[in-house]
Structure 1
Amino acid sequence: MAKPPLSPEALAALYGPHPSHFPPGGWEDESRHPAERLVKTHCCFCGQQCGIQLKVRQNQVIGFEPWEEFPFNRGMLCPKGVKRYLQSGHPDRLLDPLVRTEQGFRKAAWDEALDFTARRLREMQERYGKDAVAVYGGASLTTEKAYLLGKFARIALGTRHIDYNGRLCMVSAGTAYKLAFGVDRSPNPWSDIPKAQVLLVAGANIGECAPITTDYIWRCRDNGGRLIVVDPRMTPITRNADLYLPVRPGTDVVLLMGLLHVVLRDGLEDRDFISQHTEGFELVAESVRPYDPLTTAEITGVPPDAIEKAARWFGEAERAIALHARGIEHQSKGVENCLAIINLCLATGNIGREGASCMMITGQGNGQGGREHGQKCDQLPGQRSINDPEARSHVARVWGIDPAEIPQGGCTAVEIMEAIHRGEIKALLSICFNPLVSLPDAEFTAAALERLEFFGVVDFFLSETAHFADVVLAGSLHEEDEGVVANVEGRVLHIPKAVDPPGNARVDWTIYCDLARRLGKGQFFSYKSSREIFDE
């Protein structure tokens, strides 16, 4: 069973996390030994993917410079972006594969670690069936890695159980946008934010979680725009709001329906837009009829006059934008919350125009691209549904297999843990996901990990989850491989390779290709570069 070989304190003492505030060589080293080159790339720590230039010397990232020409952040960086370059040379960085023993983790050669992993995965499937193995991915992987992981799960392992950590947050927004617009993308670029006359921010702690977006909001206000903030807490951005709606947790959908009620009651809807570009308006209008300001106030805790004012500001504006993030998405009714905010924009005609839209603030590094290319349990590459026969046939032709060989949809990220508890899933392979921290119930998650008969992790640090692993395969950072990502706007960005992985660490996609060869499916994973994965 997958249990930590030492106490959490002992593992933390050996593998971190330890603070590291200094670049390789210290702060003064660069003045004596300047960088050999600057590599234009992007910060990996959130979905904004701000432009940054990494300073490289002797295959090490030693610092950074602003990239002022990149249009999204124009050289600005938040504290996370300023420190992101320190990951590469961090003392806790994993430099070799690790294999768990009774005395702790020991370093292993790659052949030993990969042979052991492939053997255990094969044993689990021979004993319990293909679906006894599950795969976890992550939204911060490059799009090539996300694509490869889905292919690996479905061809190399033949399992239907693959999902990723974006399931916990952004998937509800993606589902709502696909239901409303047929595509999982924010309709407008961030450059439209300063052009809005009214900006409604719902469930988004922008000042701390998306600091560069704060600049866009300040420019909106400098242009005379009004700021409405919906949040149970007085977050930093709230202190500068023109109107603050302190919604009771879990009642966001009622508040948004109450706003639409006032819009329709006062005739502020755009009837021409509704008739020409929408369907189902009558059903939505009927659904919000009970939520007058007094009723809405009783449920949400927001004063009736504030509800009236917010609805009138949004409905009367020629150009209004609604920005939302995890606060309304990371709920059991996340899809309904997002649909409610979309309905408010549709009813007022605030969509598809400059300075008028609803927009989701994607959270993770490649949160947009990472959820489009097949590492979700219900999805094939290109946002294709795994249940669509035409989509299955198309992907099967690309992969060179029969459509019947593609497994059906499997469990979501949380459901995988539940299936482990039920004894249905016996082995798990995870990359770019720390479920012990990310999933809702840490005790439930830890108990599930302990029930696994095999647990493998690909990571560049020994995370809390990796403490439970039988094998940890030392993987790569953002700047140690070439690929593409999609940022919060849906802007596709190139990530050039700046340095090689340190020590004996390896580029992530090569690890999975080697595993596929050991599982007898190497003919489907004969890539020589990430560019070949991109082309496929």
Structure 2
Amino acid sequence: MQVRTHTPKLEALRRTNLELIAEHYPPQAVLAEPERAFHRLLGQYGVVAAGATRECLFQDETHPYLGVAMDRCIHCNRCVRICEELQGQFVWEVWNRGEDTRVAPGKGPTLLEGGCVSCGACVDSCPTGALFDKRGPEAIEYWTRTTCVYCGVGCQMDVSSRDGKVVAVRPANHPTNRGHLCVKGRYAFEFNHAPDRITTPMLRRNGEWQAVSWDDALDFIAGRLRDIVARDGPDAIGVLGSARASNEENYLAQKFARVVLGTNNVDCCARVCHTPSAKALKTMLGTGAATNCFDDIEHAHALLLCGVNPTENHPVVGARIKQAVLRGAKLVVVDPRCTELAQLADVHLAVKPGYNVPLFNALAATLIEEDLLDYAFLTERVSGFDDFAAFVAEYAPERVAGECGVAAADIRAAARIYATAKPAMCFHGLGMTEHLQGTEGVMTLINLALLSGNLGKPGAGINPLRGQNNVQGSAQMGCDPATLTGSQLIKDAGPRFEAAWGCKLPATHGMDLLQMIDAARDGNLKALWAFGYDVYLSLANEAASRTAMAKLDLVIVQDLFLNETACAFGTVFLPAASFFEKEGTFMNSDRRVQRIRAVVPPPSDAWPDWWIIQALAARLDHPQGFCFDNPRAIWDEVRTLWPDGAGLSYERIERESLHWPCPDEHHPGTPVLHRERFSAGKTAALACIDFVPTPETIDDDYPLLLTTGRTLYHFNAGTMSYRTPNAALRSSDTLDMSPGDAARLGLADGEPVHVHSRHGMTTLPLRITDVVRTGQLFASFHRPELFVNRLTSLVRDRQVHTPEYKVTAVWVERARSDG
């Protein structure tokens, strides 16, 4: 067969079709943007746009990022298809037929009211500019590939700059995100050049911040640290790594703590989110990280989502999950709220907050009772089955359904899906970990995977969705009091690190972040150095945090902005470079190590964190081991000390998307862990986890149950996203309440309400929504001035001390006009 695509007849037909399309096309658009794909095609065939006017076209000027010029629409329907087939949002629809055909949102008068989540995929697909980025210059020649700084998906993106400022971001076609980005990664970059960014070191003198030189700031810090070590010992100092910082910088931070200061008091923000995941996975399976990669979503026949809301918190992965479900994968969602994916689920288990352990024990009991086990896997890879079966029989669905707030029949239906629609892939989030039994809750998930054989194969596994871009990397680099780089226990790997670093490691056991706060309260911790982490705003129970941090003698804040920690307690502020301004690597949720690259130079006197750490080490008379010329040199030292990362050279990372373990430069990486054996051995033991209820319970005085979390348009403390036009997309945190509760309390949508807990009070605007159940509330925590952590309790995970952000008893009243 011979196929000809450019014969004279076909070319004439193409020209005729282009002339028909161009009959209603504006000629000024072709002149203004000749590089558009459709405009190039018109030029190639010598077709002139006729420019006949059309009426009744969709118009929308309300979106901060997406522009609409529908006089350019040629009805190619690419926007319709990409919104359906990539994002799964179904915003765009084709209206009418023939000459009356129009493309417009189908669910509302504007894009945002029609369900747009501002991912920009339709803009990328549009060949004419009918849909366009309002801020994005079209003719950009040079783009720099880097890794997104928001959630833990690790999306790759291309960034362009002009006059030293980032001006545009577009998604990269990379295995991690497959040419897709969310609204934060694509559009929320203007924080980098915000007018209130701090670009010179500062000292607080007489209650006022004063700009100083780097020499003055570093000399001041070095002198104070020497005094504290001499007077109170090195364990009176704590160092906190950062999910905002690179792997190389976190490695240097923990090395500084142990080598220069002589303390194991080093931790990072993983403590307040996914340390329970790491602890549970390492204890039971031997490796404290996700077992499978994101590419396995397309291989899974069933998906189990537990306490995670990926379409808002990990939107690119959320879109992939949504597409998998639309293609026929089964879906079970365990979440107190009726999230977007819960609405698509085959079974939604709206568990009462705090009751994860009995619920997942009930799922395990169902697998055993209904003979839904993988006996071959159990025989070869699992131990302790008989004891576990006897234990978990007490958690039959009919016994625990009432206290969990779900139907026994639904528990059984969920168990059947997970065990029979194999392979089944489990994702979990902070709704599992931020509890009194956070670590143990994750262990109950691992029990399910062991019983059903959903481990060690593509499309399966237990996978924590990490909330921040490099929270996996910061802990993996050794920002943890009990482990060194590579999550290696000090008692096992200590001698090797001592030989490499040329010193003895501290003998005393280090304190984690929450223990540091307790020690500060008791007067035993005197200094805290935190970079890229707003500790005060982020910790549960603001009153306790304030009391403790006020007793510190020295608080070093290293960041882009004067965050709440700096404003309330800071002694020294060190201006850091952002991820747009430095080199290095991040580590995402599915164990990929990926490059970040400088797009623009740091402003004024800001420097990368790795430079600052080394400069301070030199001031403390310890330059040895802290004289790296660049992050690449730091990473090469990391690889010599971390056997599972030895093969991850910069050269390979530049051209490959690799998952650790990758022990040498010929190893292909490990997308799926535990294929033949577990890291801890041939078999893994089932864990008998009895339920321990939280002391944070409702009563007549505090009758409503509040849980907290993130939202699509903002991120953590709002430090970055609220300094961008994302603030127009969601201007405030809200208190989400069911219509029934609002009616009972006589409250109206949008009005301010006082929220009281046993620990504090804050005021939030009310949002009435049927996403939350009667008796339950939800609030995000992104606005510093609203400070939702004034409400949260001192309850902590029993094993790793993660705060229980997800369960707080409250009562609500209308805000009084007198304040």
Structures share fold, TM-score greater than 0.5:
yes
Of 267, 271, 277, the residue aligned with 1:173 is 277
Helix, strand or coil for the counterpart of 2:394?
coil
Name whichever of 196-205 and 314-323 sits farther off. 314-323
Q: Measure, in 2, the Cα distance between the counterparts of 1:436 and 1:64.
A: 32
Of 254, 258, 261, the residue aligned with 1:154 is 258
| Displacement of 1:57 | 2.5
Give the letter for the 2:593 counterpart: V
Helix, strand or coil for the counterpart of 1:37?
coil
The equivalent of 2:159 in structure 1 is 54
Q: Measure, in 1, the Cα distance between the counterparts of 2:345 and 2:246.
A: 36
Give the letter for the 1:49 counterpart: G
Q: Measure, in 1, the Cα distance between the counterparts of 2:201 and 2:357.
A: 47
| Displacement of 1:219 | 2.4
The equivalent of 1:410 in structure 2 is 510
Q: Measure, in 1, the Cα distance between the counterparts of 2:558 and 2:460.
A: 42
Give the letter for the 1:422 counterpart: D
The equivalent of 1:401 in structure 2 is 503
Helix, strand or coil for the counterpart of 2:292?
coil
Of 226, 229, 243, the residue aligned with 2:347 is 243
The equivalent of 1:4 in structure 2 is none
Q: Aligned in 2, Cα 1:133/1:266: closer, same or farther, shift over 3 Å?
A: same
Contact 1:178 1:184 in 2 (8 A): yes
Q: Aligned in 2, Cα 1:287/1:92: closer, same or farther, shift over 3 Å?
A: farther
Give the letter for the 2:384 counterpart: G
* Pairing 1:45–2:146 present: no
The equivalent of 1:10 in structure 2 is none
Helix, strand or coil for the counterpart of 2:523?
coil
| Displacement of 1:248 | 0.9
Contact 1:35 1:57 in 2 (8 A): no
Helix, strand or coil for the counterpart of 1:290?
helix
Q: Which runs of 5+ in 2 are unaligned?
A: 1-63, 66-132, 638-819
The equivalent of 2:520 in structure 1 is 420
| Displacement of 1:436 | 1.3
Identity within the alignment, %:
34
Contact 2:322 2:341 in 1 (8 A): no
Name whichever of 240-249 and 407-416 sits farther off. 407-416
The equivalent of 1:498 in structure 2 is 599
Of 544, 562, 568, the residue aligned with 1:462 is 562
Post-superposition CA distance 1:464-498 (Å, at most 9, x none): 01111111000111121111111111111111222
The equivalent of 2:470 in structure 1 is 366
Q: Measure, in 2, the Cα distance between the counterparts of 1:28 and 1:252.
A: 45
Contact 2:150 2:468 in 1 (8 A): yes
1:33-432 pair list within 5 angstroms? 35=140, 37-67=142-172, 69-102=173-206, 104-388=208-492, 391-402=493-504, 405-432=505-532
* Pairing 1:449–2:549 present: yes
Helix, strand or coil for the counterpart of 2:225?
helix
Q: Measure, in 1, the Cα distance between the counterparts of 2:515 and 2:528.
A: 13
User: Which is bigger in relative contact order (C-alpha 8 A, separation at least 6)?
Assistant: 1
| Displacement of 1:31 | 4.6
Give the letter for the 1:77 counterpart: L
The normalised TM-score by structure 1 is: 0.91
The equivalent of 1:15 in structure 2 is none
Q: Measure, in 2, the Cα distance between the counterparts of 1:251 and 1:164.
A: 27
Report the structure number with the largest CA radius of gyration.
2
Contact 1:392 1:406 in 2 (8 A): no
| Displacement of 1:407 | 4.0
Helix, strand or coil for the counterpart of 1:289?
helix
| Displacement of 1:198 | 1.7
Helix, strand or coil for the counterpart of 1:524?
coil
Post-superposition CA distance 1:157-187 (Å, at most 9, x none): 1122111111111110011111122112212
Q: Measure, in 1, the Cα distance between the counterparts of 2:135 and 2:472.
A: 38
Q: Measure, in 2, the Cα distance between the counterparts of 1:170 and 1:366.
A: 12
* Pairing 1:533–2:621 present: no
Give the letter for the 2:266 counterpart: I
Q: Measure, in 1, the Cα distance between the counterparts of 2:469 and 2:557.
A: 20
Contact 1:387 1:408 in 2 (8 A): no
Helix, strand or coil for the counterpart of 2:624?
helix
Name whichever of 110-119 and 193-202 sits farther off. 193-202
| Displacement of 1:152 | 0.3
| Displacement of 1:28 | 8.0
Give the letter for the 1:506 counterpart: W
More helix by percentage: 1
Helix, strand or coil for the counterpart of 2:426?
strand
- Structure 1 ranges of 4+ moved more than 3 A: 27-32, 405-408
Q: Aligned in 2, Cα 1:84/1:267: closer, same or farther, shift over 3 Å?
A: same
Q: Measure, in 2, the Cα distance between the counterparts of 1:185 and 1:30.
A: 37
Give the letter for the 2:387 counterpart: L
Give the letter for the 1:53 counterpart: D
The normalised TM-score by structure 2 is: 0.60
Give the letter for the 2:526 counterpart: K
Q: Aligned in 2, Cα 1:141/1:498: closer, same or farther, shift over 3 Å?
A: same
Q: Measure, in 2, the Cα distance between the counterparts of 1:497 and 1:181.
A: 37
